[in-house]
Structure 1
Amino acid sequence: MADPQEATVTLPSDPASVTTARRYVCALLQGWGLPPDDPAADSVRLIVSELATNAVLHTSGQSPTFTVEVRLEHGEQLHIGVTDSHPRWPRRLPAAVQQDNGRGMVIIRHLTVESGGGLHVTPTEDGGKTVWIMLPWAVPVP
Structure 2
Amino acid sequence: MADHQEASITLPSEPASVATARRFVAEVLREWGLPDDADTADSVRLIVSELATNAVQHTFGQSPTFTVDVLLERGEWLRVGVTDSHPRWPKRLPAAVQQDNGRGMVIIRWLTVEAGGRLTVSPTDDGGKTVWIALPWTVGLPVTSPTGC
Return the TM-score normalized by structure 1: 0.96
- Long gaps (5+) in structure 2: 142-149
Counterpart of 1:6 in structure 2 is 6
Q: RCO greater where, 1 or 2, for CA within 8 Å and sep 6 or more?
A: 1
Same amino acid, percent of matched pairs: 76
Residue type matched to 2:98 in 1?
Answer: Q
Counterpart of 1:39 in structure 2 is 39
Question: What aligned pairs does 1:8-23 form with structure 2 within 5 A after superposition?
Answer: 8-23=8-23
Residue type matched to 2:75 in 1?
Answer: G
In the TM superposition, residue 99 of structure 1 has moved relative to its aligned partner by 1.6
Q: d(CA) in 2 for partners of 1:133 and 1:72?
A: 12
Q: d(CA) in 1 for partners of 2:48 and 2:9?
A: 13
Residue type matched to 2:71 in 1?
Answer: R
In the TM superposition, residue 97 of structure 1 has moved relative to its aligned partner by 2.0
Q: Deviations over 1:11-49 (max 9, x none)?
A: 000010000000000010011000000111110010000
Which structure is larger by alpha-carbon Rg, 1 or 2? 2
Counterpart of 2:107 in structure 1 is 107
Q: d(CA) in 2 for partners of 1:41 and 1:86?
A: 28
Q: Deviations over 1:58-84 (max 9, x none)?
A: 001100000000000111100000000
Q: Deviations over 1:51-110 (max 9, x none)?
A: 000000000110000000000011110000000000000001122321211000000000
CA RMSD, aligned part only?
1.2
- 4+ runs of 1 displaced by more than 4 Å? none
Return the TM-score normalized by structure 2: 0.92
Counterpart of 2:140 in structure 1 is 140
Counterpart of 2:54 in structure 1 is 54
Q: d(CA) in 2 for partners of 1:2 and 1:20?
A: 26
DSSP 3-state at the match of 1:79: strand
